[in-house]
Amino acid sequence: MKKIRVYQVDSFTTEKLQGNPAGVVPNADGLSEAQMQAIAREMNNSETAFVLSPTAPDHQLWVRFFTPKTEVPICGHATVAAHYVLAHEKNLPSCTLIQKTGVGLLPVEIVQEGHDYRVIMTQGAISYSDPLPGEDRHDLLAALGLDAADLDDRCPLQVVSTGHSKVMIGIQSRDLLHRLKPDLTALTTLSKKIGCNGYFVFTLNAEQCLLAHGRMFAPAIGISEDPVTGNANGPLGAYLVRHNLVTPADPVFRFRAKQGEALGRPGVVEVEVSLENGIPKQVRVGGCAVIVFQTEIELP
């Protein structure tokens, strides 16, 4: 029997049972893809991270991410969770590790703070699709229960990616944000049409210390709603700069965003957007984490 160590970690928070829960299997070598998928289904978090040995000298670890339904190329909160577990298991000092993921090799910075850690991940290449055309726009608003008047007219409905794409949907009211009850079946159908599984609905604040509040729905990959999403708030940063919704004074635009309030699991994501001649070139997201429990699973 093989003993698999399994952790439950809450990311983007220092409080247990807040933020976004992720499963972490730090000794996943030898597991089949079917076993990883079964463990992710059993954990029933939005994502579970499986840490494997490197496959080449250009990285220190290989991490695969599974929702309860399917494998995804990258996950922000599960990356934070996986490296937080590794830092504690190995008593790591502040360092940078290169992880192999489904979107390539990405550096992850582990910052030791007393007896605890923060984790900051570099996301993948930034890409933007054209704004959604009329029929898709209509279907999206209907699925979310929104009217055109509810939208923030500064914010085009657009797919943005830093490795795992999301539709950016800016609305005017935080109260409305927290009252949304989307039609998950309709969102799943739309995902198949537009080739994007995640929908990030957000509102903007005037103060940059906490610039945005958001919610993220991805039913097509088994996530009705994700509490706190690194791969939504990261692309949001690039999107805000690209559309002149913020006016960065420095070569690195930094902000904090809050998510998970509607689920009773609030957490805060720290976002950095590096600029070159005013154009977003690289996105990093990070935050704190806390281990909720550790256990072992025996598998043949």
Residue pair 161/114 in contact (Cβ under 8 Å)? The answer is: no
Q: Which of 15, 33, 42, 47 is catalytic?
A: 47
Q: CB-based contacts of 135: which residues, under 8 Å, 6+ apart?
A: none
Residue pair 134/165 in contact (Cβ under 8 Å)? The answer is: no
- Kindly report the backbone phi and psi dihedral angles of residue 261, in degrees, each rounded to the nearest multiple of 5, phi listed first: -65, -40
The DSSP 8-state label assigned to residue 129 in this structure reads: P
Please give the Cα distance from 170 to 167 (Å, whole number): 10
Strand partners, 104: 101
225 noted as active-site residue: no
Q: Which H or E run includes 221?
A: none
Please give the torsion angle defined by the CA atoms of residues 126, 53, 26 and 163, in that order, rounded to the nearest 10 degrees.
10
Q: Where are the alpha helices (DSSP H) in the chain?
A: 33-43, 76-90, 134-144, 174-179, 184-194, 230-242
Q: Where are the alpha helices (DSSP H) in 145-277?
A: 174-179, 184-194, 230-242
Q: Report how far apart the first and last C-alpha atoms of the chain are (Å, whole number).
A: 5
Collapsed DSSP state (helix, strand, coil) of residue 208: helix
Please give the Cα distance from 200 to 195 (Å, whole number): 15
Query: Which positions are catalytic?
Result: 47
